[in-house]
Structure 1
Amino acid sequence: MNIIKAVLTGHTRGLGAALADNLLGRGIAVLGISRTRSAAHASDLLQEVELDLANTSAVETWIGTGALKRFVEGAHTVVLINNAGMLQPVGPIEIQDIGAIGRSVSLNVAAPLMLSAAVAAASTTGLDRRIVHVSSGAARNAYPGWSIYCATKAALDHHARAASLDHNRALRIGSVAPGVIDTDMQAEIRGMGLDAFPLREKFDELKRSGQLSTPADAARKVLDYALSDAFGETPVTDVREFK
């Protein structure tokens, strides 16, 4: 029997909550890491850690407690899903809040890379390690007003490309864009002024025309791929490429 355990960041909202639902529904134990605990998930399979992932010192301290290593003990496969992220700051570079830039880079880049290294270093013999970066079309296409978000998501893509060159047979890594999903982030985008995000009307039209996927559907596609034999063969993918 292949015992699978998952470490999931940002598990309380949006795609993260849908990923947690799907994992728990498959009988997979989940270690959820977020600033707050989930009000929706009640399961013996769920452990939660309240942690501000934008605080790199706090992330380092928590990893140093050994809680992550203890969680993966007994597993044959461990899946790290780096889902937590933030869109702000949005707007031309000259008006971006300096503190918000630091938090965004810490949350969107530093925390995923730190957790990835910790999972890769897990010493359980024969452990199949899988690292999933939740990426975005913004990693591969530059959008006006989104210079920080585009840059941080592109960093995850390139991290996956470079880490895959290490040829660690017990480690698979992939940066996966989940498509355009009807979440709070999409509502945030549609609430932006055109001066901050000139392409907002494109996202307005996606909502009006019903082209946004549901969090549940996107979560299913991401996890079907992450748990498949094909995961890791291509370091950067998009769920819209899957049938």
Structure 2
Amino acid sequence: MKKAIVTGHSKGLGAGITAALLADGYNVLGLSRSALPGFEAGLEQVALDLGDVDALAAWLDGGELESFLEGAESALLINNAGIVEPIAPLGRQGSAAIARAVTVNVSAALVLADAFAATSTNVADRRLVHISSGAGRHAYTGWSVYCATKAALDHHANGVRQDALPGLKIESLAPGVIDTGMQSTIRGTSEEDFALRAQFVELKATGALASPEEVGAKIVEHVTGKNFGVEIITDIRTA
């Protein structure tokens, strides 16, 4: 039986990934603050705010992850949930926004990765995917927090590779620019806070943004394929 856990599964890229996994015969456990409508067979959903460390810890202590993975022949964890805010230069970011970004983008992903590794030891083929970003590999003005959190995922993947855990493959995978709510947030930012705003407005206007469904399908094809884990820091546009 093929099983997958997807964070932030109810919108954008997460919904695209979830749809592709279900089409490929996976049982999916989705973790998100909101539910994904229109899917029933093969999908379990948990309402969980990954920005709430206590709620995440309580959910993990309840044993639901271990129960879901029971009987799996192959297992995936796709850490997709992420937020781009705060978008602003240093000094205008705000403590609460910084702390939430680090919690959602980094802490929750690392905590879930650890729990997944601990509860999937009997699974012969287990794969861990961090959805990273080109912003983790190239700095952008106004995005210092987002860049730092995505770079953390990249380096975490490199460290896990050194652990050489039996049966575990890992990648930190950049998905490219996608037409999601995150892009809307970026376009809605003032040029004072994000000097590159006009470039992202142009991407939308010229149709240069990929669809979440298209990219989700490409990601699932790659992460379930034979080349997954050969390289650790990857980009779906070149994988």
Q: Give the TM bin, normalised by the shorter chain.
A: over 0.9
Q: In the TM superposition, what is the alpha-carbon distance from 1:164 to its structure 2 partner?
A: 0.6
Deviations 1:111-163 (A, max 9, x none): 00000001111155243211110011111110111111000011001100111
The partner residue of 1:12 within 6, 10, 13 is 10
Structure 2 contact 21–28 (Cα < 8 Å) conserved = yes
SS of residue in 2 equivalent to 1:174: strand
Matched residue, 2:24: 26
Where do 4+ consecutive residues of structure 1 move more than 6 Å? none
Aligned-partner Cα distance in 2 for 1:107–1:126 = 27
Deviations 1:24-61 (A, max 9, x none): 111210000011222x2322211111111011121111
Matched residue, 1:87: 84
Aligned-partner Cα distance in 1 for 2:238–2:4 = 24
Matched residue, 1:151: 148
Structure 1 contact 21–41 (Cα < 8 Å) conserved = no
Deviations 1:5-24 (A, max 9, x none): 00000011100111111111
Which structure 2 residues correspond to residues 1-243 of structure 1 after superposition, within 5 A? 3-38=1-36, 40-242=37-239
User: Residues 123 and 210 from structure 1, CA distance in 2 versus in 1: closer, same or farther, beyond 3 angstroms?
Assistant: closer
Q: In the TM superposition, what is the alpha-carbon distance from 1:204 to its structure 2 partner?
A: 1.6
Aligned-partner Cα distance in 1 for 2:122–2:144 = 41
Task: Normalising by structure 1, report the TM-score.
Answer: 0.95
Task: Using CA pairs under 8 Å that are at least 6 residues apart, name the structure with larger relative contact order, 1 or 2.
Answer: 2
Structure 2 contact 120–126 (Cα < 8 Å) conserved = no
Q: In the TM superposition, what is the alpha-carbon distance from 1:208 to its structure 2 partner?
A: 2.1
Task: Normalising by structure 2, report the TM-score.
Answer: 0.97
Aligned-partner Cα distance in 2 for 1:229–1:111 = 28
Deviations 1:143-202 (A, max 9, x none): 111111000011001100111111123111100001100111111111111111001111
Aligned-partner Cα distance in 2 for 1:154–1:98 = 20
User: Residues 56 and 19 from structure 1, CA distance in 2 versus in 1: closer, same or farther, beyond 3 angstroms?
Assistant: same
Deviations 1:41-99 (A, max 9, x none): 32221111111101112111111111001001111111000011111111011011211
Gaps in structure 1 of 5+ consecutive residues: none
Aligned-partner Cα distance in 2 for 1:145–1:153 = 14
SS of residue in 1 equivalent to 2:163: coil
Aligned-partner Cα distance in 2 for 1:28–1:80 = 12
The size of the alignment, in residue pairs, is 239
Aligned-partner Cα distance in 1 for 2:122–2:19 = 29
